[in-house]
Structure 1
Amino acid sequence: MFTQLGALPYRHVLTMPTEPSAVRTARETAEQALVEWGISLRHPVVGPALLILSELVTNAVRHTAVLSPQVTVVYAASPDRLALAVHDRHPYRPALYEAVARTGTGGLATVMELVLAADGTAVVRADADGQGKAVWITLPL
């Protein structure tokens, strides 16, 4: 699994209120960053990446706003890799890979199906104080 953010030369960080408009803002910012970094919005991984991002920010808005008034999105890329992270200050850490095994549909199951279909990786990293986390997604370009 790729874990070295410093190895990705392109980075952008966006912090915004944990409210419904954050989903659109996060997606539009991703599109703008990708274009600035020379990654075509028609690249086969971009559509799934934007859907993953939308689902993760939606989850933050729906489930963490009470404890996390802000959500932070980290965008990073290199010529062969795209990484996205959604951070909030809610202590719950979802079991990402178990979401695929559960029956039914849901945002997290969709995220993981898209990640796995793209040969990507996903990890939840807890904040040092245990009161927040970031969901990191890495996809090959």
Structure 2
Amino acid sequence: MLPTRGREPAVIRRWSSGHRSVGRARAELRNALSGWELSRIEDDALLVLSELLTNALRHACVPGREIETRFAPVPGGLRIEVHDASETRPSMAVPGEDATGGRGLLLVDILARRWGVADGDGPGKLVWAELSTRERQLDGEEP
């Protein structure tokens, strides 16, 4: 179970492999962030969700199974989880300069306080990311 701040429940939704799922998931997250007063991290959170969910839809879709998203406030930020039924774990690629894709997990790595992959409760895995409500610091910047 996702940790939550106070009494605020996690938002859990299931998505088909349809092309509209990412947009609908983004709308759900946007509404949740507003209710949790976390709109200040909306841009980063929506991009992280888009990347994680798109990866699951493209690379980890199992016929007959839906993909699940979970969002929850955590102390100092937000946790996003994407659960799928595939055993294949994502890996961060280093695409060539001319590549038109392959940068999703690099973006997640930059935007998230931390992220990772874990075994799911059932078949498959979950890919998660935690975002901080604090300002991100660029390499070399003083805190």
Which TM-score band (shorter chain)? 0.7 to 0.9
Q: Which residue of 2 aligns with 1:110?
A: 104
Higher Cα radius of gyration:
2
1:62-104: CA deviations, max 9, x gaps? 2222446201000011462111011110110112xxx25x233
Deviation at 1:15, TM superposition (A): 1.1
Q: Which residue of 2 aligns with 1:8?
A: 5
Structure 2 residue ranges without an equivalent (≥5): 134-143
Asked if residue 20 in structure 1 is aligned to residue 19 in structure 2, the reply is: yes
| Aligned partners of 1:115 and 1:139 also within 8 Å | no
Q: Which residue of 2 aligns with 1:85?
A: 81
Q: Which residue of 2 aligns with 1:32?
A: 31
> What code does the residue aligned with 1:124 have?
V
Asked if residue 69 in structure 1 is aligned to residue 65 in structure 2, the reply is: yes
**In 2, distance between residues paired with 1:119 and 1:56?**
12
> What code does the residue aligned with 1:26 have?
A
> What code does the residue aligned with 1:37 have?
W
> What code does the residue aligned with 1:55 have?
E
Deviation at 1:7, TM superposition (A): 4.6
Counterparts in 2 of 1:66 and 1:110: CA distance versus 1, 3 Å: closer
**TM-score (structure 1 length as normaliser):** 0.77
**TM-score (structure 2 length as normaliser):** 0.76
**In 1, distance between residues paired with 2:85 and 2:109?**
23
Q: Which has the higher helix share?
A: 1
Counterparts in 2 of 1:119 and 1:93: CA distance versus 1, 3 Å: closer
- Paired positions, count: 128
C-alpha RMSD of matched pairs (Å): 2.3
1:112-131: CA deviations, max 9, x gaps? 33432x451111012256x4
**In 2, distance between residues paired with 1:103 and 1:65?**
23
Structure 1 residue ranges without an equivalent (≥5): none
Residue 106 of structure 2 aligns to a residue in which SS? helix
Identical aligned residues as a percent: 30
Asked if residue 123 in structure 1 is aligned to residue 109 in structure 2, the reply is: no
> What code does the residue aligned with 2:90 have?
P
Residue 129 of structure 2 aligns to a residue in which SS? strand
